[in-house]
Each structure stands twice: as C-alpha cells, then as structure tokens.
Structure 1
Amino acid sequence: MPTAYLVMAVVSIAALTAIFTYRRHRMVAMLGWIGWLLISAYFLVEYVVILNVAAPYDFFHQPMSDLGVTVCGEDAYLLTTNDICSPYHLLINWSFALSGIATIAGALGLRTWWPAGKKVDIALWLLVVHGLSNIAAGLVPADVDFWLHTLGSIPGMVVQIPALLLLGLAIRKSKPLLAWWTFICWVGTTGALILLFYQPEWMSLPGGLLQRVLYATVYLWMGAVALTIWKQQRFSA
C-alpha cells in the first residue's frame, strides 16, 4: 500500500476508534454536527479535481470513482474503457474517506437529538454503514482492487434509502418540515438508484450525474439536519 493510503488508513481507523469509544461525548456530537454541516463541500473538492484532470472527464456519464484512479490511461480498471488521468486522485480519495468519517460521527454523536426507539437506532446504524462504505471507496481506488472497491461502495448506494425513510417517519409529527425534506431526499436518492439500475439498458442515461444525485441528496439532508439543530440550540439559548 502506498504511504499516502497507509496514512489514510491509519487516520480512518484512529478516527473511527475514537468516535465509537466516545460516541456519547459532547465533543463527538460537536464534530458530527460540523461534519454534517460541511459534508456537501465534497462537491467543491470534486470540482477542483475535475478542473485539474489531464484527460477529458465527462461529469454526466463517468463515475465519481474515475477521479480517484491512481494511474493514467485507458482500461485503468476492470469494465472501463475510459481514458482516465486524475492527478489529484489523492485529494478526492481523502474526500471520500473524510465524508465517511463525518457521516459516522454525526450518526453516532447526534443520537440524543433524535426520538428514542429501535427503528431510529437501526436507521442511524445504517448511516454508519453508509459512512464505512465511503471510507472503503477512498482507501481502495478502483484501479488498485476493482472488486474490493466496488463491493465496498455498493452498501453506501443502498442503505441510506431505508435510513431516510425510517427517520422521516420518526419525526413526521415532532419536526414536520424536516420530515418533508427527509422524504424529498429519500425520493431523490431512491429514484437515482433505480435509474442507475436501468443504465446498462438505457445507455443514454447520465450515470455520472445520477450517482452524484444519489449522494448529494443524502449530504444535503445531513446539512439540513445540522441547520435544524443549530436553530434549535440558538433560539433556546
């Protein structure tokens, strides 16, 4: 494993260990809140990486993972013929890992903000899986191990769907506006995943854009949760 990715692995393991160990500590709650508030900044990082590619990159049709490929050329990994060259691949892979850590910190650290109940617990642990999936995608680029990258990424494309549905139902009476936003994001991420399944048959579908919608809806939802928490704390002070 290259040194840069070894450092990423060590940092990720250390961060996860601290989050799981001290998940009820106020500091983890604060870090989770900040992480959810800023998580959509991933797309700003992605924009910078796209601006610096050394081979044409199609935002609408190429997957996000192409930006994290560590080599240049065609056939960089299994099942692709794209000409890929992303000099800032380390930056995008760090972004994958950090967004995963932020997701987990928020899911565990902000638990007391949500209603009590087993269904909410299940939903938040599904978000933990979502975060772990993002970390795996960053640690193992597609060209390093295609199957490990792919199998690690797949859960993060699915588990947010039941998680958002369960959380929306849990707060539909106590926080109706946030519940509506949760359902809207649930429809967005679910629709994007369904269309991605049909992409092999309908090659005209913009797979890269759909993948970004799949994640962006979840990140925007997290931002809305963080803003709601901030407003409640601000006005109760």
Structure 2
Amino acid sequence: MHQTSQQPAPGTVRDRFGALVWIIGSVQFFLCHLIVQSAWPTPYSWSLNNISDLGNVNCQPWGDNARYVCSPLHTVMNTSIIVGGLLIIVGIFAIESLWRRSFISWAARVLLIIVGLAWLLVGLTPADVEENLHVLGALFIMIPGNLGLMLMVLSARYGYMKTIRILATLMGIIGLVATGLFFSGHYLTLGMGGMERVAVFPLQIWNFIAGCTLLIAVVRERRRAALEALIEDYHEREY
C-alpha cells in the first residue's frame, strides 16, 4: 500500500498532455499515409509498396522489383514521419503514471526514445536520397520499437494499464517476428509492403490505444473522486 501511494495518480496535466500527444501522433501518421498514397498517379499497394515509397522524392523505377514510385506529396509524408517521431518522444517524457521505477522500465523508455529518433532519421533521409541512413533508421524503428513494446508488460505499472500492457507485449512479439520475416525476404501472403507494416505499425497503434486508455482512466478517476466528494459532503451534513 505504501508503494502504491508513492505513484502519481492518473490524470495529471502531464498525463493528459502525453496521452493527447500519442493519439495525435498516431492519427496524423495514418491520415497522412492515406492522403499521400491517394495522390499517386499510379495505384499504390499496401502489399507491393513499402511505406518509404510514399516519401521518395523522385519519380522512377525503384527497388529490387523495379516498381514505379512517384509520390507527389512526399514532403507531406516525410514531415508526418518527423512529427510522429517527435511526438513519440514527447509522450514518453510527459506521461508520468505509466512507468515503474525499475531498470526494465528505463530500458523500455530508452528503446522507445531510440525509435522516435529513428523516425526522425527516416523522415529526414528519404530512401532515394540517402538509402543507407534510411534503411538504418527503419531497422531501428522495427527492432527497438518492438522490443520496447515487449518489455511493457514489466515496465508499465497501473492497474488500468494491465490490458494494454499485455497487448503491447503481444504486439511487440508479432512485430519482432515480422521484422525477421521482412528482412529475410519471407513475406508469406502479405507481400513486401504488408509484412513491413506488420513490423512497423505496432508501436503507432499501441500509442493510440494507450493514449485513449489513459484519457478514459482520467475520466473515470474524476467521476470516482466527484462521487466520493458527494458522499462525504452528504455524511457531513447528516452529522
């Protein structure tokens, strides 16, 4: 009981800000993804095209399969990726009630901060401009990101986070397996782009779910506190 009392309660200004930051970061990324792909003069395929194709600067055949890549709104996509990386980092520092005070918790946060920095690198170095740095950034998004999610079951602490802690670990395992399959060229029935998304999307999806869960917990906490205040006020009037 004493240890629990030392933990910050959900609903601080920083918690709410961090939750909103994570939600906004995820929503803007997926929204920009859809907007940018819709502007392609040729059909964009989630199976045949990878995410990086949306940020390529030039219109040309690209990749091992010489797919034609032409993304008129590449600046929008690269900006979205950079913003998404920054918001991942901001959310990690802002949310107080999520993390335990343990080595594993610090390790998870460091891994996720690395992911945020990797998103910045990917957005700043389009694949057809600086391919080596871009691939390095993608590698650091997939591996540390999914490892960080896997550690969440031991690094997040509040009871209301139990479900999403388990979800994070499951998503991290799936993402890490998908990373291995992607880089080994085993795409199963998903195609190159599909397998890449299974490896990359887990953190963005989890950030959205975690942010929403935290905001819902804030609402419930406020309702509980308000109810307790009403009951206490009623008893004081009675006696």
Aligning the two structures, in what range does the TM-score lie when normalised by the shorter sequence?
A: 0.7 to 0.9
- Paired residues for 1:59-138 under 5 Å: 59-75=46-62, 79=64, 81-138=66-123
Letter in 2 for 1:184: L
Q: How many residues matched?
A: 209
Distance 1:210 1:111, change over 3 A: farther
What does residue 176 of structure 1 align with?
162
Residue number among 126, 146, 159 corresponding to 1:141 in the alignment: 126
Letter in 1 for 2:143: V
2-side partners of 1:113 and 1:170: how far apart?
Answer: 8
Once the two structures are superposed, what CA deviation does each residue of 1:202-237 show, in whole Å capped at 9, x if it has no partner?
686511012122222211211121122212221222
Structural RMSD (CA): 2.3
Highest CA radius of gyration, 1 or 2? 2
Distance 1:80 1:142, change over 3 A: farther
What does residue 172 of structure 2 align with?
186
TM-score, normalised to structure 1, is 0.79
Unaligned runs of 5+ in 2: 1-11, 223-239
Q: Is the 8 A contact 1:40 1:216 kept in 2?
A: no
What does residue 164 of structure 1 align with?
149
Task: Give, in angstroms, the shift of residue 169 of structure 1.
Answer: 2.4
Letter in 2 for 1:71: N
Letter in 2 for 1:236: E
Unaligned runs of 5+ in 1: 1-25
Once the two structures are superposed, what CA deviation does each residue of 1:92-112 show, in whole Å capped at 9, x if it has no partner?
101110110111011111144
Task: Give, in angstroms, the shift of residue 28 of structure 1.
Answer: 6.2
What does residue 153 of structure 1 align with?
138
Task: Give, in angstroms, the shift of residue 190 of structure 1.
Answer: 1.9
2-side partners of 1:89 and 1:207: how far apart?
Answer: 20
Larger deviation, residues 189-198 vs 82-91: 189-198
Task: Give, in angstroms, the shift of residue 149 of structure 1.
Answer: 1.4
2-side partners of 1:99 and 1:165: how far apart?
Answer: 21
TM-score, normalised to structure 2, is 0.78
2-side partners of 1:33 and 1:95: how far apart?
Answer: 18
